[in-house]
Chain A
């Protein structure tokens, strides 16, 4: 079964850091680009970051550039998001999503996890 399982969310104070993980199974992980997409409570989807199959191409939304770092470990079938200098506006459900292609620019996400909630509050 094709599956993405996120972990690492929780309650964190403003300015602190958090690292999200996404474990993939059921497909050849290193063939595909991967992305993080978030959804604030009651709001729409926001693309956060993407990484190509070989980590050669990486992109970030303007709202997180310089604070968040995406990475992947193909040997472990895992995707990560290191989030530093967290702000209240980063509060959201963070989804891990599989791209339909390897380079990441097509922006078509055909497999999604169930998400991990990040709450930034003092």
Chain B
């Protein structure tokens, strides 16, 4: 299984919206509604932001939203804030009982 494909970087100004893509195949992203997104600040453990494509865990602001079309999932951050600057990773179930693949990560910069 290959890693999912994410753009290495993304940026936006405070208050703007930014969308990060995550491209896989029909064997992972496209085949199941089990895409998750994580936020990681430097030196910190990752934090779950979105699961099952578009669900938000308790405590995650509704500025974060997820979607999927075909083999590509997307994370949209609306109303960008300075604290949103972090690395973002997508992941997907990839079949075969228990098998998970991550994307390479996207560094989000708030200008």
Contacts and interface: CB of A to CB of B under 8 A. Distances in A.
Given A51-B98, A52-B98, A62-B1, A112 B46 contact: yes
Interface string A107-122: 1111011110000000
Interface string B60-96: 0000000000000000000000000001010111001
Contact of B91 (A47, A59, A95): A47
Interface string A11-53: 0000000000000000000000101010000001111001110
Nearest to A114: B45
A59 B96 contact: yes
A83 interface: no
Contacts of B45: 95, 112-115
Interface residues of A, number: 29
A58 interface: yes
A57 interface: yes
B36 A107 contact: yes
Contact of A105 (B1, B47, B98): B98
Nearest to A107: B100
B103 interface: yes
A41 to B, nearest CB: 12
Contacts of A46: 102
A117 to B, nearest CB: 13
Given A37-B102, A105-B97, 5 more contacts: A33-B98, A45-B89, A50-B98, A104-B98, A108-B51
7 contacts: A44-B102, A44-B104, A47-B91, A52-B98, A105-B93, A107-B93, A109-B46
